[in-house]
Amino acid sequence: MNRLRVGPQTDFKTMPIAEARRQSDAATIPWSDGAPEMRMRNLTVDADGHEMRARLYLPVEGPIVSPILYIHGGGWTFGSIDTHDGTMRNLAEAAQRPVLGIDYRLAPEHPFPAPLDDVLTAIAFVETGGLGTQISAHDMAIAGDSAGANLALAALLARRDRRLPQLASAALFYGCYAPDFTTASHAEFGDGAYLLTSVNMRWYWTNFLGREGADTTSLAAPVRSDLSGLPPLYLSAAGLDPLRDDTLQLAQKLAASGVSFRCDHVPGVVHGCLRMTRELDAARTMIRAGADFIVSQCNEKNLGGTQSWSAANS
- Of 72, 186, 265, 271, the catalytic one is 271
d(CA 175, CA 231): 17
- Indicate if 110 belongs to the active site: no
Q: Is the peptide bond preceding residue 113 cis, with omega within 30 degrees of 0?
A: yes
Residues with Cβ < 8 Å from 300, sequence gap 6 or more?
none
- Indicate if 236 belongs to the active site: no
d(CA 27, CA 251): 32
DSSP state of 231: P
d(CA 274, CA 282): 9
- Indicate if 241 belongs to the active site: yes
- Of 146, 169, 225, 236, the catalytic one is 146
Q: How many CB atoms lie within 10 A of CB 58?
A: 16
Residue 81 half-sphere exposure, CB side, CA atoms within 13 Å? 20
Q: Burial, 299: exposed, middle or buried (Cβ in 10 Å; 0-12, 13-18, 19+)?
A: exposed
Q: Between vectors from CA 72 to CA 67 and to CA 74, what angle results, nearest 5°? A: 175
- Of 85, 118, 241, 246, the catalytic one is 241
List active site positions.
146, 241, 271
